[in-house]
Amino acid sequence: MARKAPGGPEPQYLKVKNHLREGIASSRWVAGDLLPSEAELVGQFEVSRMTVNRALRELLQEGMIERVQGVGTFVAQLHKISSTLTVRDVHDEIAERGHRHESRVHLLEKVRASSEQAAEFGLRSGATLFHSVIVHLENGVAIQCEDRLVNPACAPGYLGLDFTQTTPTQHLLEVAPLSEARYTIEATVPDEMEAKLLGITRRDPCLVVKRRTFSRGLTVTTVRLTHPGSRYLLEGSFQA
């Protein structure tokens, strides 16, 4: 997918595409709604029909819209995928073992996106992101440090939630139907903050899962999940 050059003007087709994508993400238009016509978009943005066509073509390829010849363009039906595929809620994992889950919130704030963070979210450098750092405990023992950034357009109420009563994963799966998830898993050592919050040393081996999830063509969240290697076993299932 084409992106604007760093520091350069935003391509005209991206203005149209982002307008529609952000409208869908904010539920201005929901699944099944008829979107503005090509002619309306041409007039609104003062661009060519070819420019509008490119924006719509990319949204179609991303599965965000459906086009019916002679009728119009509609918001596509979106479905939540099984959380057992790539996204599991730590609360559910612990409950399945018959144990007690507890969360301790250490940070819940607004931050300005760095250049690298902005690129991951498809936003401009300095854009607002929500940031949380939460430690999850199993029967009183810290098993996961969750360091997360969230796109406010996908979860505007995120900072107002009580994450001792729910989890970020549970909330985000509810408000931003998951269309794609990408992740990496590596064995490494914790950084200074993670070691302190997990009650381990900087030399203790950890299992780190880095995950990025998408909904309606937008990056919803990026998260780093750090688990002490001696306290955590990663397991799950894959479903067709």
Distance CA 49, CA 53 (A): 6
We report the CATH number of the domain holding residue 36 as 1.10.10.10
**100 Cβ contact partners less than 8 Å away, ≥ 6 residues apart:** 94, 138, 139, 140
> Looking at per-residue confidence, does 55 or 177 come out higher?
55
Which of these three, 20, 49, 75, is where a domain ends? Answer: 75
138 and 57 both lie in a single domain: no
The reply to whether 98 and 214 lie within a common domain is: yes
Residue 2 clears pLDDT 50, i.e. is over it: no
Same structural domain, 193 and 127: yes
Both 45 and 139 in one domain: the answer is: no
Query: Tokens 């399945």 label which residue?
Result: 96
Judgement on whether residues 103 and 196 belong to the same structural domain of the protein: yes
What was the pLDDT predicted at 82? 35
> Residue 147 pairs with which residues in a beta bridge?
133, 224
pLDDT tens-digit series, residues 121-164: 999 999 999 999 999 999 999 999 999 999 999 999 999 999 99
Q: Is residue 84 part of a domain?
A: no
In a domain, residue 85? The reply is no
User: Are 105 and 221 members of one domain?
Assistant: yes
pLDDT for 235: 57
What's the rounded mean pLDDT across residues 104-120? 96
Say if residue 56 is in the same domain as residue 157. no
pLDDT at 78: 55
How does pLDDT run across 179-234, given as a tens digit for each residue? 888 888 888 999 999 999 999 999 999 999 999 999 888 999 999 999 998 776 66
Assign residue 20 a region: left if phi > 0, alpha if psi is -120 to 50, beta otherwise? alpha
> Which of 23, 50, 75 is the endpoint of a domain?
75
Q: What's the length of the chain?
A: 240
Amino acid type, 49 = R
Residue 171 dihedral angles phi and psi, to the nearest 5°: -65, -45
Task: Write the CATH number for 134.
Answer: 3.40.1410.10
240 lies in some domain: no
pLDDT tens readout for residues 24-60: 877 788 888 899 999 999 999 999 999 999 999 888 8
73-93 average pLDDT score: 64
Question: Domain containing 192: what range?
Answer: 90-228
As beta bridge partners, residue 188 has 206
> Count of domains in the chain?
2
Residue 83 lies in a domain: no
**Inside any domain, residue 1:** no
Do residues 143 and 176 share a domain?
yes
Is residue 237 situated within a structural domain? Answer: no
Of the three residues 52, 75, 98, the one that is the final residue of a domain is: 75
- The predicted structure's pLDDT at residue 238: 44
Residues 144 and 179 placed together within one structural domain of the fold = yes
Do residue 100 and residue 58 come from a single domain?
no
What is the reported pTM?
A: 0.64
